[in-house]
Amino acid sequence: MEQLVLDLTNPGTRENALLELSKKREAFPELAPFLWHSFGTIVALLQEIISIYPLLAPPSLTAHASNRVCNALALLQCVASHHDTRSLFLQAHVPLFLYPFLNTTSKTRPFEYLRLTSLGVIGALVKVDDTEVINFLLSTEIIPLCLRTMEMGSELSKTVATFIVQKILQDSVGLNYICATAERFFAVSAVLCTMVGTSFQEQPSLRLLKHIIRCYLRLSDNGRAREALRQCLPAHLTQQDFHLCLKDDIQTRQWLAQLLTNVGLTSHDPMFPPENMQPTPLHT
């Protein structure tokens, strides 16, 4: 491992080192501190990221270039995930280098792979409930970037982006931020509503629907948002067909029934009639 990390700083050996380390990173639990504290290593990874900025607009990213930079992003995800390096990662504002990738609109596979891997780094940050992470992401305008992906990304990218928004909402700072203005609230709720509608034009993704419902449920914890949701909650959520597509996911059905109860709408799920509903903790 040590030699591969050293090879990252040599332009001639970097590509192979990126590939080998990204494939073997799970086998080295302490890879993140080693990457962070090794001289020149993070700079080398950032050089890989910056080098493809010119390929973003006009879109000319090749599969080879995308794979190479995604290997660098996979190593940064290790750093973002590790408890000893997460805070240092934020203090250095490293996530900002990924934001141009989330701001792209091309739906070709190289761009989609780049978006998904970048989202994976942000997702690694929010997996641990940490208000420092939420404050950083909100201060750097991550919400509009996630909403863009939720609108136009692949199913998998939409799922990861929605998960990030869900984790931001679960923190009281994030919930208060999104509900502080009507513009922010309706920007989020409009994209969630569109995704619900789109899911019924195609084969519904249960994992994506689960994250959407949890976002709505958390929004309903805010008084002003709860009032607004009475008017703008998608009609699909109250229909029996929707409950049937969740028939094997009892937890998500319970969250949906609790959401409808919170906003004063009727659940058509016989398992969870409104009169039998009890408040359900979101952090489960």
Kindly give the confidence (pLDDT) of every residue in the chain, 284 residues in length, as a single tens digit, with 9 standing for 90 and above. Answer: 889 999 999 999 999 999 999 999 989 989 999 999 999 999 999 999 999 999 999 999 999 999 999 999 999 999 999 999 999 999 999 999 999 999 999 999 999 999 999 999 999 999 999 999 999 999 998 999 999 999 999 999 999 999 999 999 999 999 999 999 999 999 999 999 999 988 777 776 899 999 999 999 999 999 999 999 999 999 888 887 777 778 888 999 999 999 999 999 866 555 555 555 554 444 43
Cα 149 from Cα 103, distance rounded (Å): 8
How far is CA 234 from each of CA 121, 137, 175, rounded to the nearest angstrom?
Answer: 31, 28, 20
- What pLDDT score does 243 carry? 74
pTM of the model: 0.92
Asked if 246 and 256 touch (Cβ cutoff 8 Å), the reply is: yes
pLDDT of residue 203: 74
| 3-class state of residue 207 by DSSP | helix
